[in-house]
Structure 1
Amino acid sequence: MQPFELKKRQLLMALIIELESALQKQQLWQSERPSEQALASKLPFAIDHLNFVQWLQFIFIEKITLLLQQNLPLPTSMAIAPMASEYFKVQINSCPEIVALITRIDLTINEKV
């Protein structure tokens, strides 16, 4: 693995851990897992069965963590921050820390760090 790729993976793992912590801090982390049917949604962000935070926790974070742990290829481009901005814009707690973390994850995946 190239030094840049290793650094990118380390940074991405740190950001994922920070995102998980921020979700827990805001009391958005859920202990109950959605049904397998909900998690199998083919729509973007599983919007037909999950809210955005559920998608982050049960699909995005789990998948990126798995890719990192198993040294599998990462996505080459990502744009989750616009969805995060829209989702949190209408929430009681706008969670700018979470949106900022997701933006950093996007930039890291897109190699603009």
Structure 2
Amino acid sequence: MSQTPESMLSDVADSLLRIEMALRQLDAWASSPPPDEAFESDQPFCIDTMAFPEWLQFVFLVRMKVLVEQGGPLPAVSGIAPMAEEHFRSRPESGDALVRALAEMDRLLSEPS
């Protein structure tokens, strides 16, 4: 079933809040952004200049919030949950809530409108 653009934006906004909450629950929410140079990376997810949670907070969430506030267009595909799974694979903390929140965003952005 196809969503209206308004309901899609609302669902994406809700999903962004769940991602933020998951980052905060992991104590991975930073109080200040990384240095300006970190944003100049040409690598996917700024993998060479930021930790994955930093990229989520300061790149992905910021850009997606702007798109939602402006009414789109949203990306047509997303595959962030696998990156989160990889990030947490070798870490002691469980990123399950964050992976689930990102999988929901992946689903929202990837389903046909």
TM-score (norm 2): 0.92
Residue 106 of structure 2 is matched in structure 1 by 106
Preserved CA contact (<8 Å) 2:84 2:95:
no
Q: Deviations over 1:28-85 (max 9, x none)?
A: 1001211111012111000110011000000000000010011131111111111111
> Partners of 1:112 and 1:74 in 2: how far apart?
12
Residue 92 of structure 1 is matched in structure 2 by 92
Q: Note if 1:15 corresponds to 2:46.
A: no
Cα RMSD between the aligned structures?
A: 1.7
Amino acid corresponding to residue 56 of structure 1 in structure 2: L
Amino acid corresponding to residue 28 of structure 1 in structure 2: A
> Partners of 2:6 and 2:72 in 1: how far apart?
12
Equivalences for residues 58-77 of structure 1 within 5 A:
58-77=58-77
Count of matched residue positions in the alignment of Structure 1 and Structure 2: 112
TM-score (norm 1): 0.92
Aligned sequence identity (%): 30
> Partners of 1:3 and 1:98 in 2: how far apart?
24
> Partners of 1:101 and 1:107 in 2: how far apart?
10
Partner SS for 1:97: helix
> Partners of 2:51 and 2:88 in 1: how far apart?
11
Structure 1 segments, 4+ long, off by >2 Å, are none
Q: Which has the higher contact order (CA 8 A, sep 6+)?
A: 2
